[in-house]
Amino acid sequence: MKKLYLFYPKKIGHIAPEIYGHFSEHIGGVFYDGLWVGKDSDIPNIKGFRKDLAEKLRAINPPVLRWPGGCFAERYDWRDGIGADRPVRPNFWMFRDGKYESNEVGTHEFMDLCETIGAKAYFAANITSVPPMHILNWMDYCLTPRGESALALEREKNGHPEPFDIPFWGVGNENWGYGGFMRPESYVDEFFRFAMLMNPGRDPKIKLFACGSDKDKYDWSHGVINGLARRSKQVNGFAMHYYCGSAGDPVAFTKEEWTQQLLQANKMDEIIRRNWNIICAHGTEEHIKLVVDEWGCWHPDGSGPSRGAFLFEQQNTIRDAMVAALTLNIFNNHCDKVIMANIAQVVNNLHSLFLAHGKDCIVTPTYWVFDMYKEHQGGDCIETYVTENEDFASSLSVSASVKNGKTLITLANLSPDRDTELALEAIGAAIPASAEACIIYEDDLHAKNTFDDPNAVAPQKLTLDLTKPITVPRASILAISF
Positions marked active-site: 174, 294
- Give CA–CA dist 366/481, Å, rounded: 20
- For residue 121, CA distances in Å to 64, 69, 108, 124, 364 come to 6, 12, 12, 10, 24
Under a CB-based contact definition with an 8 Å cutoff, are residues 351 and 323 in contact? yes
Q: What are phi and psi of 452, to 5 degrees?
A: -80, -30
What is the spatial distance between Cα 389 and Cα 391, in angstroms, rounded to a whole number? 6
Per-residue b or e along 251-281, where b marks 16 or more CB atoms closer than 10 Å to that residue's CB: eebeeebbbbbbebbbebbebbeebbebbee
Rounded to whole angstroms, the Cα distance separating 277 from 284 reads: 10
DSSP state letter for 20:
G
- Whether the Cβ atoms of residue 340 and residue 291 lie closer than 8 Å to each other: yes
Cα–Cα nearest to 403, from 426, 379, 384, 382: 379
CB 420 within 8 A of CB 471: yes
Say how many CA atoms lie within 13 Å of 366 toward its Cβ. 29
Residues in CB range of 159: below 8 A, 6 or more apart: 108
CB-CB contact of 269 with 254 (8 Å):
no
Name residue 289's beta-bridge partners: 237
**What are the beta bridge partners of residue 395?**
none
